[in-house]
Amino acid sequence: MSDRLRHVIDVVDDDPRILEALGELLESKGYLVNLYTSGQLLLDNGEEIGDCLITDLGMPGMDGFELCRHLRLTNPTLPVIFMTARNGIHDQQRADRFEHHGLLQKPFDAATLLASVESAIRSR
């Protein structure tokens, strides 16, 4: 069995098209993937948090930073990869306050995302 089959990736984005594309990509590489359209849905899920979180920064309600803060209270070593469609130094500065494994500018290529996920998983 591939090492990837043992790893669960939680993906949070309010755009269903992005969720679907990321889910298909990650599953095609052997990861188990949980998809959520909001951070609150992930928190309310009641299931154990996966091995890596990929989250959009700009979402209505709870943004990716707030979600990360909540999850790090109980899982301080959770690897996080941020995604954003915004192009600004402000997001980079805020992201740098968190230990993270990437701040990916949308659109990004599959190889970049997969390399970030692999790095995040190895960090655990």
Say if residue 1's pLDDT is above 50.
no
Instruction: Output b/e per residue, 35-56; b: 16+ Cβ within 10 A.
Output: bbebbbebeeeeeebbbbbbbb
C-beta separation of 98 from 73 below 8 A: no
Say if residue 95's pLDDT is above 90.
no
Say if residue 90's pLDDT is above 70.
no
Backbone conformation region of residue 50, classed left if phi is above 0, alpha if psi is from -120 to 50, else beta: beta
d(CA 45, CA 26): 21
Q: For residue 96, which phi and psi values (nearest 5 degrees)?
A: -70, -10
d(CA 80, CA 116): 9
Beta-ladder partners of 56: 83
Range 3-123 classified under CATH 3.40.710.10: no
Domain regions of the chain by residue span: 3-123
Say if residue 47's pLDDT is above 90.
no
Region 75-85: mean pLDDT is 93
The 10s digit of each residue's pLDDT in 106-116 is 999 999 999 99
Say if residue 39's pLDDT is above 90.
yes
Say if residue 50's pLDDT is above 50.
yes
| CB neighbour list of residue 66: distance below 8 Å, 6 or more residues apart | 39
Output the six-digit token pair for 38: 């909001």
Q: What is the mean pLDDT of the chain?
A: 90
